[in-house]
């Protein structure tokens, strides 16, 4: 079966003349047995059938795939708290691949969004935070989006221009290794600007903490921030967000009533990871009882899943 699958995939790539292939989800081959063996075996069988040079990447990298992959370190997209995710990822994956495995880096799959019920629009300082890491690790980057998002996002042109400037500086090896080392630090933001002489300067910049204002009561809508630097113009970003209704609002949709708890059926990916739903009079906000969810994980895995289904 390996030979048949490998031939089918390689035939498409050869016939269409594709220059690049990404083996997404290849870690699922671990279902056959040892991850390091089966992922490497299948990808090797495919690559051996290419009749031309092809750039190869993938979502997983067992030891043997070092011989096939042209670059690694894909950062994937995340909607919430992007800066912290980028810092965590680059400090681990990129650091290991570039300096321990001599692998070129590419921060691909980075998400580019517009405002929706699922999350907020991508903003300049989030994009620039990632681009500063591209300079730090000499990494290419690409973002995952669609034409509708590019058309509707109000700052697409500005973001693309900033991206071009960062990429030009990176390809020209403009900044020294000492500057790149500074750019690798966590919880640091930077801003790239032209120096007026066909070059760039990059400087640290601090963004103040978010402030969520719910009430215009003279208290919640007033706060102070101390500027540790010299006098400068005030700049703020205001986001209008929907405000959840109160807990006992009559328009709320009831997802689960305490009376339905006995009808719930539990299922889990691992018998050593269990979940229990019960009624409780503790911390009740409305009605006679609240619903208490408790989980117990003795599986040794840091992530798992469980489900509670309401029987019909």
The residue ranges of every structural domain in the chain are: 2-205, 258-310
Round to whole Å and give the CA distance between 112 and 242: 21
Round to whole Å and give the CA distance between 21 and 104: 16
> Where do we find the tokens 């998400």?
111
121 in helix, strand or coil?
A: coil
pLDDT of 27: 81
More confident residue, 93 or 185: 185
pTM of the model: 0.75
Round to whole Å and give the CA distance between 76 and 87: 13
User: Which CATH architecture group holds 2-205?
Assistant: Alpha-Beta Barrel (3.20)
Give tens-digit pLDDT for 136-172: 999 998 888 999 999 999 999 999 999 999 999 999 9
Give tens-digit pLDDT for 195-223: 877 789 999 998 888 888 888 889 989 99
- pLDDT confidence band for 312 (50 / 70 / 90): low
Between vectors from CA 160 to CA 154 and to CA 162, what angle results, nearest 5°?
Answer: 110
pLDDT of 156: 95
Residue 15 pLDDT more than 90?
yes
Give tens-digit pLDDT for 114-136: 988 778 899 999 999 999 999 99
Please choose, from the candidates 156, 165, 97, the residue with its C-alpha nearest in 3D space to the C-alpha of residue 135.
Answer: 165
Round to whole Å and give the CA distance between 286 and 290: 8
* DSSP state for residue 172 in the 8-state scheme: T
Tokens of 290: 């609240």
Please choose, from the candidates 134, 196, 137, 128, the residue with its C-alpha nearest in 3D space to the C-alpha of residue 159.
Answer: 128
Pairing of strands 200-205, 189-194: antiparallel
- Average pLDDT of span 188-199: 88
Residues 6+ apart with CB under 8 A from 33: none
Out of 41-50, 72-81, 186-195, least confident range: 72-81
pLDDT of 75: 80
Torsion over CA: 26, 31, 34, 37 (sign): negative
Residue 242 pLDDT more than 80?
no
pLDDT of 256: 85
Round to whole Å and give the CA distance between 105 and 92: 12
pLDDT of 290: 84
Round to whole Å and give the CA distance between 269 and 265: 14
Give the percent of the chain with pLDDT over 90.
40
Between vectors from CA 54 to CA 52 and to CA 57, what angle results, nearest 5°?
Answer: 160
Q: What is the dihedral of CA 160, 165, 170, 175, to 10 degrees?
A: -150
Please choose, from the candidates 274, 275, 247, 272, the residue with its C-alpha nearest in 3D space to the C-alpha of residue 261.
Answer: 275
pLDDT of 287: 67
Round to whole Å and give the CA distance between 40 and 56: 13
């Amino acid at each position: 079966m390996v030979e048949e699958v490998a031939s089918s995939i390689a035939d498409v790539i050869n016939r269409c003349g594709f220059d690049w292939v990404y083996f997404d989800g290849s870690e699922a081959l671990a279902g056959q047995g040892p991850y390091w063996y089966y992922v490497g075996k299948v990808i090797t069988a495919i690559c051996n059938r290419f009749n031309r040079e092809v750039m190869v990447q993938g979502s997983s990298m067992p030891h043997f795939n070092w011989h096939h992959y042209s670059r690694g370190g894909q950062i994937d997209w995340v909607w919430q708290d992007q800066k912290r995710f980028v810092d965590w990822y680059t400090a681990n994956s990129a650091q290991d691949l570039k300096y321990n495995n001599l692998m070129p880096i590419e921060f691909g799959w980075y998400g580019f969004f517009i405002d929706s019920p699922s999350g907020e629009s991508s903003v300049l300082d989030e994009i620039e935070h990632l681009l500063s890491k591209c300079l730090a690790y000499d990494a290419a980057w690409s973002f995952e989006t669609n034409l509708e998002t590019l058309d509707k996002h109000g700052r697409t042109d500005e973001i693309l221009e900033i991206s071009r400037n960062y990429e030009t500086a990176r390809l020209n090896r403009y900044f020294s290794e000492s500057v790149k080392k500074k750019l690798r630090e966590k919880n640091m933001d930077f801003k790239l600007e032209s120096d007026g002489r066909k070059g760039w300067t990059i400087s640290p910049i601090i963004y103040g903490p978010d402030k969520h204002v719910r009430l215009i009561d003279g208290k919640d809508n007033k706060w102070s921030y101390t500027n540790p630097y010299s006098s400068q113009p005030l700049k703020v970003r205001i986001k209008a967000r929907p405000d959840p209704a109160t807990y006992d609002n009559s328009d709320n949709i009831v997802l689960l009533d305490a009376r339905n708890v006995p009808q719930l059926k539990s299922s889990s990916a691992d018998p050593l990871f269990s979940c229990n739903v019960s009624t409780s009079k503790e911390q009740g906000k409305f009605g006679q009882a609240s619903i208490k969810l408790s989980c117990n994980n003795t599986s040794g895995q840091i992530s798992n899943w469980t489900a509670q289904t309401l029987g019909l």
